[in-house]
Amino acid sequence: MKSHILSELQEAHRTLDAFMSDDSQIAAIEQAAQLMGQALQTGHKIISCGNGGSMSDAMHFAEELTGRFRDNRRPLPAVAVSDPAYLTCTANDYGYEDVFARFVEGMGQPGDVLLAISTSGNSPNVLRAVEAAHRRGMKVVGLTGKGGGAMADRCDVEIRAPHSRYSDRAQEIHIKVIHILILLIEKMAAE
């Protein structure tokens, strides 16, 4: 059992090292933080979405901004598309492919930012949310993995976890990126 534990930790370490050594990804995190921070400074909000574990990450991102991360500060406007009644109602009436897009169409405003999370970059409902965000005049930050999928060319800023066999490695990178984004946004909010 110990060998499995160490093997998993070593693989996670290698994935993080690969991500950290890619200067384009570090620059993308900085660009995403600037985009989000500026949106919040000008009275706009951030909407986040994803499926499964990525939904949990989207919720975590939004609650840290509206609540607090490390230091006391004013609440920042962010919301995750995660209400079960909304999701099941919309999925029942329009199909699961439209659950995030309809929320963005109803709540998104020009100047807002969508944080779209998909470890494959190919989740149909996340892709539709990206399209809806652009139609609403919003900017899109995408957290992807593998080859970036169809989201790669559709985001204003794409942050891509290194390719790995399973989505959990991408999710591990995503949560680290999310925490860094929140930290940087908080620093901008304090200025």
Segment 66-104, tens digit of pLDDT: 999 998 899 999 999 999 999 999 999 999 999 999 999
Q: How confident is the model at residue 106 (pLDDT cuts 50, 70, 90)?
A: very high
**Strands 139-144, 113-117: pairing kind:** parallel
**Which of 149, 163, 116, 184 minimizes the C-alpha distance to 22?**
163
Q: What is the pLDDT of residue 153?
A: 95
The confidence score (pLDDT) of residue 40 equals: 96
CA 96, 173, 152, 108 torsion-angle sign? positive
Nearest Cα to Cα of residue 145 among 113, 176, 179, 168: 168
Q: What predicted TM-score, i.e. pTM, was given to this entire model? A: 0.96
DSSP alpha helix (H) spans, the chain: 2-20, 23-41, 53-66, 84-94, 99-107, 124-135, 167-190
> Quick one: which of 90, 86, 87, 101 has its CA closest to 133?
101
User: pLDDT averaged over the chain?
Assistant: 96
pLDDT cut 90: percent of the chain above it: 91
Residue 159 has pLDDT above 90, yes or no: yes
Count of C-beta atoms within a 10 Å radius of residue 86? 14
Residue 122 in tokens: 């190919």
**Which residues lie closer than 8 Å to 17 by C-beta, 6 or more apart?**
none
